[in-house]
Amino acid sequence: MKRWRSLILGNGEDQGRKNVIWNIIGSLLFALASIVLFAAAARAAGEAAGGVFSIAFTTGQLLLTIGYYEVRAFQVTDISGQYTFSDYFSARLLTSMAMAAAGVIYVCMLRPEPVKGTVILLMCFYKLVDGAADVFEGEFQRQGRLDVAGKSLAFRTAFSGGIFILAVFWSKDIVTASGAAVAAAVFAFAVFDLAVIGEFGTLALSKARSRVFGLLKDCTALFVVGFLYLYICNAAKYAIDAHMSAEAVTYYTDLYLPTSTINLLSGFIFKPLLTTMGTSCKLGEWDRFRSLMVRLLSGIAVLTAVCCLGAFLLGIPVLSFVFGHDLSSYRSALVLLILGGGFNAAVMLLYYALTTMRRQVLILICYSGSFVLAAGAAPVLITNYGIFGGALCYTGVMGFLVLLLLGCFLYQYHKASASGV
């Protein structure tokens, strides 16, 4: 065990480069997992099964907002040590239990057909493991070891994803494959995160109950925001599931999954800078903070333009080959979704910036307005324009959210820089 722990931690040399490299590897594998697992399910078990898996995976991700409770952004920018790891761990234990209960209640209330209900529950528990591991990874990052967090994410995602792919092609059954993925994720979490956490903090429940509930109170607005965000991202998919066929859900998912590319690539850059943002905010270095935001938003804009061009020229033939479906009639929807992916990346950056500035309530107001827009627009646009209407809904709502968050950020920046605090 000591040798395994030493292998994970490394020698501590050239830490900055390792942080960037392993963050890229872990984030890339995590982002690609949804695409690869969905493609495997659709190819091995059929398009209808692929649609069921897509809805189940999305639902698990939505329920994961309860497990996350959006503590990670708060945790990694907690430079002053306002809360201990025991506080974060205890809070995550409570939110994970709430997530599991919500998954069971959701299935009992929805009463889907047995296979769909079983896969939803399994994906809920699969994502619950991600939620448990996230608080460990947040502590690794807070203490300057983003490389260890990246290794954890990479190992767990690759191992559980690999087991799922083997199981679904062997059994041709998404229930069997989903169960195997859950078992693999639990094993990976146990042999990685639990093995090294002792080097970073004491794995124990907090003795200060008031601090744990204080932490949850501080993150409540962000928790609601996380839930609203995932609904906003998936409002079109749920509307397609309600008003169109399971095959239509599969086609929309084919087109939607590449939108994570821009968010993923931009995340390679700004996630390692979150602690820098926290330090700048704490020291009142607002010019440095603003300059960093301008450079990152400019980079997202350029990356979005490049990805939109690539989607227009190559996106449809590549996706048709990867997923085995003819998507030639959806080129405009794909380009529109990629543009929405660029807006999404900007949303995430502005979200982290305002969280660093501890402006959770303003974030909640912005997301609430966008939620209302998505809930109203999705069924109307999908009923009238089908899959293209789904793309229009996603991109339009994301663009609206960017404008709201950017306005709040500029207001808070000018307010803080003028006061000098």
Domain ranges of the chain: 1-207, 238-421
Residue 400: the pLDDT is: 94
Two tokens at 4? 């395994």
Pick the residue with more confidence: 139 or 31? Answer: 139
What pLDDT does 352 receive?
81
Q: Does pLDDT of 403 surpass 90?
A: yes
Those residues with Cβ within 8 angstroms of residue 274's Cβ, 6 or more apart along the chain or in another chain: 73, 76, 77, 141, 352, 356
Residue 210: exposure state from Cβ atoms within 10 A (0-12, 13-18, ≥19): exposed
Query: What string of H, E and C letters represents the secondary structure of 273-304?
Result: HHHHHHHHHHHCCHHHHHHHHHHHHHHHHHHH
pLDDT of residue 367: 92
- Asked whether the predicted pLDDT for residue 320 surpasses 80, the reply is no
Note the pLDDT of residue 396: 92
H helices of 12-77, where? 15-45, 47-68, 71-76
Asked if pLDDT for residue 330 goes beyond 90, the answer is no
Comparison of pLDDT for 228 and 247, the residue scoring more: 228
For residue 98, is pLDDT > 90? yes
At 173-220, the pLDDT tens digits run 888 998 999 999 999 998 888 888 877 777 888 888 888 898 898 888
For helices 274-283 and 286-310, angle between their N-to-C axes, nearest 10 degrees: 150
420 pLDDT above the threshold of 60: no
**Burial level of 279, CB count in 10 A (0-12/13-18/19+)?**
middle
Predicted local distance difference test score (pLDDT) of residue 269: 64
pLDDT band at 362 (very low <50, low <70, confident <90, very high): confident
Q: What is the pLDDT of residue 181?
A: 93
Average pLDDT over all residues of the chain: 82
CA nearest neighbour of 100 among 66, 130, 58, 57: 66
Q: Choose the weakest-confidence range: 65-79, 254-268, 385-399.
A: 254-268
| Tokens encoding 233 | 């991202």
Is the separation of the CB atoms in 87 and 205 below 8 Å? no
CB 357 within 8 A of CB 280: no
* In the predicted structure, residue 421 carries a pLDDT above the cut 60: no
